[in-house]
């Protein structure tokens, strides 16, 4: 490495959505911005958080709600964080054991991942188990402050299934979930790819539904930056954002899927066979009947403003943090959550590239039923759809009303 | 007094490391140590053991689960990770460098916890060193085997005596400022590519 490069230490967890960070290094996008990107593969989100806290890491591929939680002082060893960009949207699935699938399939007509039908079936099975006095189903999630947790709980709550008495949540790092499913210690899990596909290929699990069916183009991972590092390296962060942006565009291109699968397959990255990474990258997942079904809006690395740090995403996570009792609502807390995401830094960084950037910092989530052209800095930008499966809408300007709606329905 | 005893729980699936830490902590007196090697039914075990301090390998993938349990359950007195205030940043750094994370239950005398924390960190480091030494020993053995192979290759292909073969390897290594084992390895590799090494 040339001496002129600035070293940036970045942590990641082996998941497909770490791709843009990995490609930024592998294909030289970081180097072109004068950055020697040193990637550190970690085993758990707690380790990522701890290593950020003690400055072993400068930035990380991190669960979108984690920096919000850190700035709210929730959880141990939290350190002030900034989110100047997202690392794409989507790529999660809800995968269930063969046993649970057998019970569910009685109530499911079409094997098409539909979030409404599968939830109805799940509610019936949960009720059957209650009557039989069977123990509650155990569902795995990757972290308490994760999009998976909030999407799963949001989805289940719509059918009156709560995640305390009706089903119990078990936390495990993503790579351990397929084994936990195979060994019967959990009945299902919600996790990022490739782990749903790994279970489906091994024949030990069935992909039931996906995040795209629960909330289209929903936020997932972000670039988490230690605030102190950003302040001491003001000239480095914009280059890193541009490098990851270019890498994300590369990752989105259909013609790069095979090469991307090969890169991610390497043991220092995801460490799974390329054939297990391709379903996610081609947005075609293995349905319960064994067919591959295209999932619209399942995964975006760059397109549909997938790298833009929407403040409405930060606030939606805050609403769920409050909803599930992880924090008490306060105007101050909402402001902390909102300000964790920094669209201003993002815009300043990508502006020299002449790319389209949303002109708003927030949007009403769930309002776009199809692909929509919206106002952008240079002209128009294609966004959406961003529907929730239950058709409800989150207006970040009306956060308290949104919270009140959960009290009456759940 | 019995209630002066600190109860330390070590969660580690590495039996050797756990015993090294246990050994270090136990010699300090007024400390009771429990070791859990597996994490099956972890919450129930933690409640039963009711420790004052929990040490767990930083890389242990069950940490996310453990923290979630502390968050949602009222069955266990709620521990906090390491120390909370900024003055403890240095100890936290030391712990993470040594590869240990600690969860400390509220209401403890901080200074006492700090001293056992120091011991645990020390022991984790000692284990790291031991592991490194083992790896070095392993690679030394591998080096020796490689050199032996390269020597016999040279003896066969160049009709050299054993001391001459070794001298040639050593001279080449010195000229190129590389380790003998590296030279031996590239020689074997090259011979393999050229199809000269038929003895293996």
Query: pLDDT digit string (tens) for A321-369?
Result: 999 999 999 999 999 999 999 999 999 999 999 888 998 999 999 988 8
Query: Is the confidence at residue B86, as pLDDT, over 50?
Result: no
Q: Could you give the CA distance from residue A143 to residue A91 in angstroms, rounded to a whole number?
A: 16
- Percent of chain A past pLDDT 90, that is, above it, reads 81
pLDDT at res. A31: 97
Q: How many alpha carbons lie under 13 Å from residue A225 in its C-beta half-sphere?
A: 27
Q: What DSSP string runs through A332-397?
A: HHHHHHHHHB-HHHHHHHHGGGT---BS-S---BT--SS-EEEEBSSSEEEE----BTT---B-GG
DSSP 3-state of A309: coil
A167-171 and A137-141 strand pairing: parallel
pLDDT band for position A398 (cuts 50, 70, 90): very high
Residue A385, preceding bond cis, omega within 30 degrees? yes
CB contact (8 A) between residue B63 and residue A44: yes
Query: Is the confidence at residue A224, as pLDDT, over 90?
Result: yes
The size of the A-B interface in CB pairs under 8 A is 63
Q: Indicate the CATH number of B2-133 among 3.40.50, 3.30.1330, 1.20.1270, 3.30.1490.
A: 3.40.50
* Token duo for residue A73: 């002082």
Nearest-by-Cβ selection for A50 from B58, B71, B72 = B58
Q: Could you give the CA distance from residue A49 to residue A54 in angstroms, rounded to a whole number?
A: 9
**What mean pLDDT do residues B15-39 have?**
80
Is B90 in CB contact (< 8 Å) with chain A?
no
ipTM of predicted assembly, 2 dp: 0.71
User: Is the CB of residue A16 less than 8 Å from the CB of residue B34?
Assistant: no
CB contact (8 A) between residue A172 and residue B89: no
* Token duo for residue B88: 């403890």
A14 secondary structure, DSSP code: S
Q: Where are the domains of chain B?
A: 2-133, 135-194
Query: pLDDT digit string (tens) for A105-119?
Result: 999 988 889 999 999
Query: pLDDT digit string (tens) for A146-160?
Result: 999 999 999 999 999
Q: Could you give the CA distance from residue A280 to residue A16 in angstroms, rounded to a whole number?
A: 8
CATH code: domain B135-194 is: 1.10.10.10
Q: Could you give the CA distance from residue A179 to residue B121 in angstroms, rounded to a whole number?
A: 32
Nearest-by-Cβ selection for B80 from A54, A76, A171 = A76
Phi, psi of A342 (to 5 degrees): -125, 75
Query: Is the confidence at residue B163, as pLDDT, over 80?
Result: yes
Q: Could you give the CA distance from residue A261 to residue A282 in angstroms, rounded to a whole number?
A: 10
Q: Which ranges in A15-97 belong to alpha helices (H)?
A: 19-26, 29-32, 45-53, 65-71
Question: What's the whole-number average pLDDT of chain A?
Answer: 93
- Domains of chain A plus CATH, in order, are 6-90+219-282+298-348 (3.40.190.10), 92-217 (3.40.190.10), 362-409 (no CATH)
Query: Is the confidence at residue A214, as pLDDT, over 70?
Result: yes
Q: Could you give the CA distance from residue B18 to residue B10 in angstroms, rounded to a whole number?
A: 7
User: Is the CB of residue A88 less than 8 Å from the CB of residue A204?
Assistant: no
CB contact (8 A) between residue B61 and residue A56: no
Q: Could you give the CA distance from residue A69 to residue A318 in angstroms, rounded to a whole number?
A: 8
User: Is the CB of residue B33 less than 8 Å from the CB of residue B10?
Assistant: yes
Is B146 in CB contact (< 8 Å) with chain A?
no
**What mean pLDDT do residues B94-105 have?**
78
By CB neighbour count within 10 A (0-12 exposed, 13-18 middle, 19+ buried), where does A262 fall?
A: exposed
CB contact (8 A) between residue B64 and residue A44: yes
* Token duo for residue B193: 């590519």
Residue whose pair of structure tokens reads 């009706």 in the numeric block: A166
pLDDT band for position A409 (cuts 50, 70, 90): very low
Q: Could you give the CA distance from residue A38 to residue A40 in angstroms, rounded to a whole number?
A: 7
Q: What DSSP string runs through A221-285?
A: EEEEEEHHHHHH-TTTHHHHHHHHHHHHHHHH-GGGHHHHHHHHHSTTTT-S-HHHHHHHHTTEE
Query: pLDDT digit string (tens) for A291-320?
Result: 999 998 899 999 999 999 999 999 999 999
Q: Could you give the CA distance from residue A162 to residue A379 in angstroms, rounded to a whole number?
A: 44
């Amino acid at each position: 490495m040339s001496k002129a490069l600035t070293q940036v230490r970045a942590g990641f967890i082996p998941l497909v959505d770490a791709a843009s960070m990995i490609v930024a290094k592998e294909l030289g996008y970081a180097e072109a911005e004068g950055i020697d990107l040193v990637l550190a593969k970690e085993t758990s989100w707690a380790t990522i958080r701890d290593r950020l806290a003690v400055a072993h890491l400068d930035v990380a591929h991190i669960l979108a709600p984690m920096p919000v939680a850190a700035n709210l002082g929730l959880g141990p060893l939290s350190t002030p964080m900034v989110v100047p960009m997202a690392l794409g949207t989507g790529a999660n699935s809800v995968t269930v054991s063969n046993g649970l699938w057998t019970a569910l399939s009685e109530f499911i007509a079409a094997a098409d991942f539909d979030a409404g039908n599968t939830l109805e079936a799940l509610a019936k099975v949960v009720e059957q188990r209650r009557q039989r006095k069977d123990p509650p189903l155990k569902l795995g999630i990757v972290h308490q402050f994760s999009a998976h947790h909030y999407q799963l709980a949001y989805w289940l709550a719509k059918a009156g299934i709560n995640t305390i008495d009706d089903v119990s949540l078990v936390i495990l790092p993503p790579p351990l979930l397929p084994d936990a499913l195979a060994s019967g210690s959990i009945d299902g899990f919600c996790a990022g790819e490739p782990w749903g596909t790994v279970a489906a290929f091994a024949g030990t699990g069935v992909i039931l539904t996906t995040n795209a069916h629960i909330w289209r183009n929903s936020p997932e991972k972000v670039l988490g930056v230690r605030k102190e590092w950003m302040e001491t390296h003001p000239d480095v962060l914009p280059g890193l954002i541009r490098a990851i942006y270019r890498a994300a565009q590369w990752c989105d291109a259909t013609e790069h899927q095979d090469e991307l699968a090969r890169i991610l397959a390497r043991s220092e990255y995801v460490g799974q066979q390329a054939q297990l990474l391709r379903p996610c990258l081609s947005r075609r997942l293995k349905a319960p009947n064994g067919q591959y079904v295209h999932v619209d809006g399942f995964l975006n690395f760059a397109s549909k403003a997938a790298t833009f740090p929407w403040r409405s995403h930060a606030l939606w996570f805050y609403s769920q943090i409050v909803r599930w009792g992880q924090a008490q609502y306060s105007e101050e807390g909402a402001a902390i959550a909102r300000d964790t995401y920094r669209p201003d830094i993002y815009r300043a960084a990508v502006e020299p590239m002449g790319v389209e950037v949303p002109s708003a910092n927030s949007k009403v989530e769930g309002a776009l039923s199809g692909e929509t052209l919206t106002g952008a800095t240079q002209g128009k930008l294609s966004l959406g759809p961003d529907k929730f499966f239950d058709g409800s809408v989150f207006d970040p300007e009306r956060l308290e009303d949104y919270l009140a709606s959960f009290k009456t329905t759940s | 007094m019995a209630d002066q005893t600190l109860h330390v729980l070590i969660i580690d699936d590495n039996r050797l490391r756990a015993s090294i830490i246990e050994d270090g902590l136990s010699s300090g007196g007024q400390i009771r140590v429990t070791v859990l090697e597996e994490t099956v039914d972890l919450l129930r075990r933690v409640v039963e053991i009711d420790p004052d301090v929990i040490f767990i390998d930083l890389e242990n993938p069950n940490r996310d689960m453990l923290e979630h349990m502390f968050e949602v359950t009222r069955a266990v007195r709620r521990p906090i990770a390491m120390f909370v205030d900024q003055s403890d940043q240095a100890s936290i750094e030391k712990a993470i460098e040594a590869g240990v994370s600690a969860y400390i239950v509220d209401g403890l005398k901080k200074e006492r916890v700090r001293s056992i924390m120091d011991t645990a960190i020390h022991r984790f480091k000692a284990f790291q060193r031991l592991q490194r030494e083992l790896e070095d020993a392993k690679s030394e053995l591998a080096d020796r085997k490689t050199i032996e192979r390269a020597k016999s290759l040279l003896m066969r292909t160049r009709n050299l005596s054993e001391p001459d073969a070794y001298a040639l390897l050593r001279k080449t290594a010195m000229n190129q400022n590389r380790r003998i084992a590296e030279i031996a390895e590239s020689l074997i590799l090259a011979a393999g590519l050229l199809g000269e090494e038929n003895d293996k």
